[in-house]
Structure formats: C-alpha cells, structure tokens
C-alpha cells in the first residue's frame, strides 16, 4: 500500500459500513455519528463505500447524509452503484447487461443446483424462490422487487443494470464455496467476499470498491495519497490498497489485518471514530 505520512491530513475519508463503521447490530453509535459529522467542519470530506445495495441505505441517512449535497451520496453494491440517498436516485450504474447476467446465473446454478440466486439491480432485487433472503422484514431492509421461478431469471427487464449477482448455498463452508464459485466464474466477473456464510457476491469485470472510489476522487481532484480508507473484509482490500492509508478495524479478516497500513479498535468499540477523532479532531 502507498503509506501516507503521519503528519499528513487526508482530504477524504472513505469507510465500509458493516463490520467497520457500524456496530455488529447494524447501528450507528452516538460517538460514531458525532465524529463522522464533525469531519466536514474540519475540512475533510467523507463517503461510505459498501457492499450494501441502495435499498439498504435509507435508514442510515444520518451517516450517509440526510441533506442533498455530496455527503448524501454513497458508493454501494461493491462499486456497482453511486446512489443519492436523500433523493433516492441511482446516479451511476456499473454492471452486467440482463442477458449476460441470466447466462451467468444459469451456469452457476447448474454447477450448484442446491443454491439460490438473486440479482441486485438499479431498481431493487430480483431473486429465485430458492434464494433465502434473510433480511426480509428487518427495519431498513426494503423488500425485494420481484420473485422469479426459473434458474435463468428470465423475467428480468432488458432495460435494467444488474449490479451484483448473489449465489447462496448455506450448506457450503465459506472457503470452499468461494473457491469453487471462483473457478466456475473464470474471467466473467469479480467475486467479492464480505463475510456472509455460503454467499458469493459477483460484480461485473472491472467493478470494485477501489475502481469507483478512484473515479469519485478523480472527479474531485483528490489524489490517492490524500485518502484514508477503512475496512474489515476481503472485498475491502482493493480499496485499502489503493488509498494512501488503508486502516483495518481490529475485528477484520486476517487477510485484511495483514495487508493494512494501520489498525484501529473494533467496530463495536467505535474504532473508526476514535481513530479519526485522535488524528483529525
């Protein structure tokens, strides 16, 4: 990673949400909210960069930003979407065309016949009936927009963008499932592991958190050396590697801990907030 010097202040702080900025119950602590909001007054921009789809961000507007400015925008879906949370508008979509997604899902479900499949699109989630959506009914998790019955998701409208393909089979161990899906996938997509058991999240080739964050910074004239990024899981590694300073929370995956430039306390101890408060506020 490109290390930034200790006496250099960042122009932008980027953070993952689950397992990093949020506590384990998915909440925003008062301390984290206080520090995150204070960064703008200290001249530091912020952006969240998350695997969550747009529909899972609405109840987090206090962190993402409830006002209609740059702070109301999130990079989500592992880089597939740039989303204005305040106005609920997808500003950018980067993903698979529906036909490509249908073909790829069909191949994966033939390889993993007991798995369920879903796709996150710029209009919400579509899923096969075998896909166990564990978050239906939870606060802040808007329901899926459609259920389909066949393995190729033939009911997907042709004019939407598929940001992520999700394949879930809870009977598999995480490492084995990720390895076998990666082999089946080949060069047709990017597999990101964010910690959910038996779940493979697949983005289109070239779509990662790092790619979209780099583009975000380029639009604002911010160089990578002026970016601090925080994360906890392997899908955060490209972003942490790209940033001038990549920081892992103490509860992070062992690969992230090994690769990070620095560490902070765990998410349940407001690690990101305390790290930023000591150095920037």
- Predicted TM-score (pTM) of the model is 0.88
Phi-psi region of 221 (alpha: psi -120 to 50; beta: other; left: phi over 0): left
Q: What are the per-10-residue average pLDDT scores of the chain (281 residues)?
A: 60 96 94 93 94 88 60 90 91 92 89 88 84 57 45 69 89 74 89 76 95 96 97 95 98 96 98 97 91
Give CA–CA dist 29/251, Å, rounded: 17
Phi, psi of 228 (to 5 degrees): -110, 135
Can you tell me the distance from the alpha carbon of 16 to that of 224, in angstroms, rounded to the nearest whole number?
A: 17
The predicted pLDDT at position 148 comes to 44
Parallel, antiparallel or unpaired: strands 45-48 and 12-15: parallel
What's the pLDDT score for residue 16? 97
Residue in 9, 12, 44, 8 with CA at minimum distance from that of residue 219: 12
pLDDT for position 146: 45
pLDDT reported for residue 197: 66
How far is 247 from 201, CA to CA, in rounded Å?
A: 23
Q: Please report where in the chains the tokens 């740039």 appear, as a residue.
A: 82
Q: What is the pLDDT of residue 68?
A: 45
Domain annotation for the chain: domains and CATH numbers: 12-93+208-280 (3.40.50.1000), 98-203 (3.30.1240.10)
Q: What is the pLDDT of residue 65?
A: 56
Q: What is residue 70's predicted lDDT score, i.e. its pLDDT?
A: 52
pLDDT of residue 160: 87
CB 139: neighbour CB atoms within 10 A? Answer: 7
């Amino acid at each position: 990673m490109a290390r930034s010097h200790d006496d250099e202040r960042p122009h932008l702080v980027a953070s993952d949400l689950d397992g990093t900025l949020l506590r384990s119950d998915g909440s925003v602590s008062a301390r984290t909210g206080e520090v995150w909001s204070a960064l703008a007054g200290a001249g530091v921009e912020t952006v969240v960069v998350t695997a969550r789809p747009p529909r899972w961000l609405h109840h987090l507007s206090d962190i993402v930003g409830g006002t209609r400015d740059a702070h109301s925008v999130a990079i989500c879906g592992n880089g597939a979407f740039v989303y204005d949370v305040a106005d609920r508008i997808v500003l950018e979509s980067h993903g698979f065309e529906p036909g490509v997604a249908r073909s790829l899902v069909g191949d994966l479900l033939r390889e993993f016949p007991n798995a369920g499949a879903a796709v996150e699109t710029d209009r919400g989630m579509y899923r096969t009936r075998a896909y166990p959506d564990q978050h239906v009914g939870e606060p802040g998790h808007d329901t899926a927009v459609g259920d389909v019955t066949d393995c190729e998701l033939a009911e997907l409208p042709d004019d939407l963008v598929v940001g992520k393909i999700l394949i879930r089979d809870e009977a598999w161990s995480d490492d084995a499932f990720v390895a076998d899906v990666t082999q089946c996938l080949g060069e047709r997509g990017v597999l990101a592991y964010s910690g959910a058991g038996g779940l493979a999240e697949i983005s289109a080739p070239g779509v990662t958190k790092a790619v979209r964050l780099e583009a975000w910074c380029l639009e604002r004239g911010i160089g990578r050396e002026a970016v601090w990024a925080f994360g906890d899981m392997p899908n955060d590694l490209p972003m942490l590697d790209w940033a001038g300073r990549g920081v892992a929370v103490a509860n992070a995956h062992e690969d992230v801990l090994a690769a990070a430039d620095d560490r902070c306390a765990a998410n349940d101890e407001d690690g990101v907030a305390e790290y930023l408060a000591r150095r920037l506020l």
